[in-house]
C-alpha cells in the first residue's frame, strides 16, 4: 500500500476581534466627570483606598470610556438628548373659541394657574415667564416664543436659547360635538439637564409633574368656567 503524503500549507489570513464600545453618557457629562475626577483624585492621592480617590477614579473611568455602569444597570442611555413628555387631556364647559381667546391672552394665566407667578409680554410672540414649580423652595424664569398659532384651535411655543430647561409645548382646543364645550389637550416636552442624572430624576419626578399639570388645569378650568 502506498502512502500518499499530502503537504498541507497553512495560508496566512487576517483575523480581527470586533470590539463593541458601548457609550451611554454624553460629551458634557464626560467633561463634568473629568473635572470632578481631577479634584477628587488630587485630594485623595495620599489615601488611594479611601472614598475620595476611589470616586475620582470611577469618574475618570466614566470620562475616558463614556460609559456609566450605574446607568447601564438602570437602563439609562444619556449619550443622546432625550425628551421627556408630559401629556394631559381635560374637558372644559366653554366653547373652544372662548377658551382659546382666554389662553391666548397670556395676562390671564398667572391668576388661573397656581404655580405661575408672572407673565410679561414682550411682543406678540415673545414673553417672559416666572413660576415656582417646586413649591416655595425656588422660582425659575424663562423666555418663551409662540411658534404656532391657529386661532380657536392650537397654540404652540418653545423656550428660547439660554433657558434653564429647554422645552416645547402645545395646547389644542377641540370643540365638543355639541359646540358648547372644549376638549383641551396639552403636551409638554423638555430635555432634562445634567445628562443621565437629569433623565433619572425626570423619570422619578414625572408622576409629580403629571399630578401638578392636572391640578393646574383644574384651576384653569374652575377660573374660566366661572367667568
Give the model confidence (pLDDT) of 179-188 as tens digits: 889 999 988 8
Owning domain of residue 167: 84-225
Q: Decide the pairing of beta strands 154-159 and 166-175.
A: antiparallel
User: For 84-121, how does the pLDDT look when each residue is reduced to its tens digit (9 = 90+)?
Assistant: 777 888 899 999 999 999 999 988 888 777 777 788 88
Residue 7: strand, helix, or coil:
coil
What's the grid cell of residue 8? 498541507
Residues 52 and 112 in one domain: no
Total domains in the chain come to 2
Residues 119 and 172 in one domain: yes
10 is a domain residue: no
For position 176, which CATH number holds?
3.30.530.20
Residue 218: strand, helix, or coil:
helix
Give the mean pLDDT of 69-83. 66
Lowest mean pLDDT among 5-9, 93-97, 138-142, 213-217: 5-9
Radius of gyration of the chain (CA): 28
Residues 67 and 142 in one domain: no
2 is a domain residue: no
100 is a domain residue: yes
Residues 141 and 183 in one domain: yes
Residues 204 and 95 in one domain: yes
43 is a domain residue: yes
User: Is the entire prediction scored with pTM above 0.75?
Assistant: no
Contact of 44 with 215, CB cutoff 8 Å: no
Tell me which DSSP letter residue 21 carries. -
Residues 69 and 147 in one domain: no
8 is a domain residue: no
pLDDT at 37 over 80: yes
- Boundary (domain end) residue, out of 74, 109, 131: 74
Residues 172 and 92 in one domain: yes
Q: Mean pLDDT for the chain?
A: 76
Residues 58 and 125 in one domain: no
Residue 192 CB contacts under 8 Å (≥ 6 apart), including other chains: 82, 84, 165, 198, 199, 201, 202
Residues 63 and 109 in one domain: no
7 is a domain residue: no
Cell 408630559 locates to 86
51 is a domain residue: yes
CA distance 224 to 227: 5
Residues 62 and 94 in one domain: no
Residues 59 and 136 in one domain: no
12 is a domain residue: no
pLDDT at site 197:
53
Please report how many Cα atoms fall inside a 13 Å half-sphere around the Cα of residue 52, on the Cβ side: 10
Tell me which DSSP letter residue 107 carries. G
Residues 58 and 142 in one domain: no
User: For 217-227, how does the pLDDT look when each residue is reduced to its tens digit (9 = 90+)?
Assistant: 888 888 888 87
Amino acid at each position: 500500500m502506498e502512502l500518499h503524503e499530502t503537504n498541507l500549507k497553512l495560508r496566512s489570513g487576517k483575523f480581527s476581534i470586533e470590539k463593541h464600545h458601548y457609550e451611554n453618557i454624553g460629551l458634557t457629562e464626560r467633561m463634568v466627570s473629568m473635572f470632578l475626577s481631577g479634584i477628587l483624585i488630587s485630594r485623595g492621592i495620599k489615601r488611594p483606598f479611601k472614598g475620595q480617590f476611589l470616586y475620582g477614579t470611577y469618574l475618570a473611568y466614566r470620562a475616558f470610556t463614556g460609559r456609566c455602569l450605574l446607568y447601564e444597570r438602570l437602563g439609562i442611555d444619556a449619550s443622546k438628548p432625550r425628551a421627556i413628555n408630559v401629556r394631559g387631556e381635560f374637558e372644559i364647559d366653554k366653547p373652544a373659541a372662548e377658551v382659546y381667546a382666554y389662553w391666548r391672552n397670556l395676562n390671564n394665566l398667572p391668576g388661573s394657574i397656581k404655580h405661575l407667578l408672572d407673565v410679561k409680554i414682550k411682543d406678540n410672540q415673545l414673553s417672559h415667564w416666572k413660576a415656582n414649580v417646586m413649591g416655595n423652595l425656588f422660582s425659575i424664569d424663562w423666555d418663551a416664543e409662540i411658534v404656532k398659532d391657529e386661532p380657536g384651535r392650537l397654540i404652540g411655543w418653545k423656550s428660547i436659547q439660554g433657558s434653564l430647561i429647554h422645552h416645547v409645548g402645545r395646547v389644542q382646543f377641540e370643540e365638543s360635538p355639541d359646540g358648547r364645550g372644549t376638549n383641551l389637550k396639552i403636551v409638554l416636552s423638555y430635555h432634562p439637564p445634567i445628562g443621565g442624572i437629569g433623565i433619572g430624576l425626570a423619570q422619578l419626578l414625572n408622576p409629580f409633574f403629571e399630578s401638578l399639570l392636572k391640578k393646574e388645569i383644574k384651576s384653569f378650568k374652575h377660573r374660566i368656567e366661572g367667568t
